[in-house]
Amino acid sequence: MNVRVYITPKQGILDPQGATVERALPNLGFEGVSGVRIGKFIEFKLDPPAGTTAAQAEAEVDEMCRKLLANPIIEDFTFAIDEG
């Protein structure tokens, strides 16, 4: 399965990069943009043992995110798992 992890600065923590980009977009004529957060995108393939349920795979990826891929103290994360 293909896993895609999206990591952004935790809500409530200032994101100076996002704020700068948000101010730049209107200068180029793109109006109506708000809430820009700049983070990271991580993708990988996961080949779990036969019989692994979708829920188990999700739990495993969630643990990967908490333990290494993201730092939950300063970052939020979401992920998507696709078969194939």
Partner 1 sequence: MPSAARHPVRFGVVVFPGSNCDTDAHHAIGTFPGATARYLWHKDTDLGGVDAVILPGGFSYGDYLRCGAIARFSPIMQAVRDFAEGGGLVIGICNGFQTLVESGLLPGGLLRNMGLKFVCRYVNLRVENADTPFTSSCREGDLLRIIVKHNEGNYAVDAETLERMKANGQIVLCYADARGELTAAANPNGAVESIAGICNETFNVFGMMPHPENSVEAHMAGGSDGRKIFQSMIDAVMQRAEVPA
Closest to partner 1 by CB, 50 vs 68, is 68
Among 5, 65, 69, 79, interactor with partner 1 by CB under 8 A:
69
Give the nearest distance from C-beta 13 to partner 1 in angstroms: 6
Which region, judged by CB under 8 A, interacts with partner 1, from 21-29, 44-52, 55-63, 71-79?
Answer: 71-79
- Counting residues that bind partner 1 (by CB under 8 A) gives 11
Burial (CB < 10 A; 0-12, 13-18, 19+), residue 27, is exposed
Which of these, 43, 31, 39, lies nearest to 10 by C-alpha position?
A: 39
As beta bridge partners, residue 41 has 6
User: To which residue do tokens 């393939």 refer?
Assistant: 45
What does residue 36 show for φ and ψ, rounded to 5 degrees? -70, 125
Residue 66 interacts with partner 1 (CB under 8 A)? no
Among 73, 82, 83, 84, interactor with partner 1 by CB under 8 A:
73
